[in-house]
């Protein structure tokens, strides 16, 4: 429909003028009169454009803040679950007798949970890089399920 194209083009022109007005005011530090001269509109139009641009920017910032808050809540929940698993695994480790299958399972759980916790925090952008000492320790001592089963079997056979 021709009317829709005209209104669409008018909306785009208006949005661009508002963007320019906000840029000239915030970045170039021009006053309303100077902006009106540059854009060839009235000072009243500049004031309306600045008000509309500020309202849109505020709305966008609020949406971004809400999204960041949801991300923060999710990260906190994930981290809390890992911390709880780590506490439980450490308790099981300390409650187990040395060289027992339970102690080996608990230690493997600690290593795996620590590695997964770091992966999730890194994926959320909250951890830039896993510290090298942690990565080396996890790669040296973390066991796959098969390796863990084999070690537990050996431990049980030596008893």
Distance CA 28, CA 33 (A): 13
Based on its alpha-carbon atoms, the radius of gyration of the chain, rounded to whole angstroms, reads 30
- Residue 139: pLDDT over 70: no
Per-residue confidence (pLDDT) for residue 153, from 0 to 100: 72
Question: What are the tens digits of pLDDT across the range 71-80?
Answer: 788 878 888 8
Range of the domain at 14: 2-158
The total of structural domains in the chain comes to 1
Here the tokens at position 92 are 């099981």
Percent of the chain scoring above 90 in pLDDT = 23
> Is 121 within 8 Å of 127 (Cβ atoms)?
yes
- Residue 62: pLDDT over 60: yes
> Is 156 within 8 Å of 102 (Cβ atoms)?
no
> Is 85 within 8 Å of 113 (Cβ atoms)?
yes
- Residue 1: pLDDT over 50: no
Question: What are the tens digits of pLDDT across the range 94-137?
Answer: 898 887 888 888 888 888 888 788 787 778 777 776 555 555 55
CA distances from 145 to 105, 113, 138, 157 (A): 10, 14, 15, 18
Here the tokens at position 2 are 């021709």
- CA angle, 101 as apex, 97 and 102 as ends, to 5°? 65
Here the tokens at position 55 are 């309202």
């Amino acid at each position: 429909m021709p009317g829709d194209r005209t209104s669409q083009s008018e909306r785009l022109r208006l949005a661009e003028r508002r963007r320019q007005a906000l840029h000239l005011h915030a970045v170039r530090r021009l006053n309303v009169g100077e902006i009106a001269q540059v854009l060839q509109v009235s000072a009243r139009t500049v004031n309306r454009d600045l008000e509309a641009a500020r309202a849109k920017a505020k709305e966008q910032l609020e949406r971004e803040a809400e999204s960041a808050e949801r991300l923060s809540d999710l990260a906190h929940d994930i981290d809390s679950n890992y911390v709880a698993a780590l506490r439980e695994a450490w308790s099981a480790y300390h409650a187990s007798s040395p060289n027992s299958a339970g102690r080996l399972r608990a230690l493997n759980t600690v290593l795996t949970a620590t590695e997964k916790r770091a992966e999730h925090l890194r994926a959320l952008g909250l951890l830039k890089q896993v510290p090298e000492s942690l990565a080396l320790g996890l790669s040296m001592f973390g066991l796959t399920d098969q390796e863990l089963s084999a070690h537990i079997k050996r431990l049980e056979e030596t008893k």
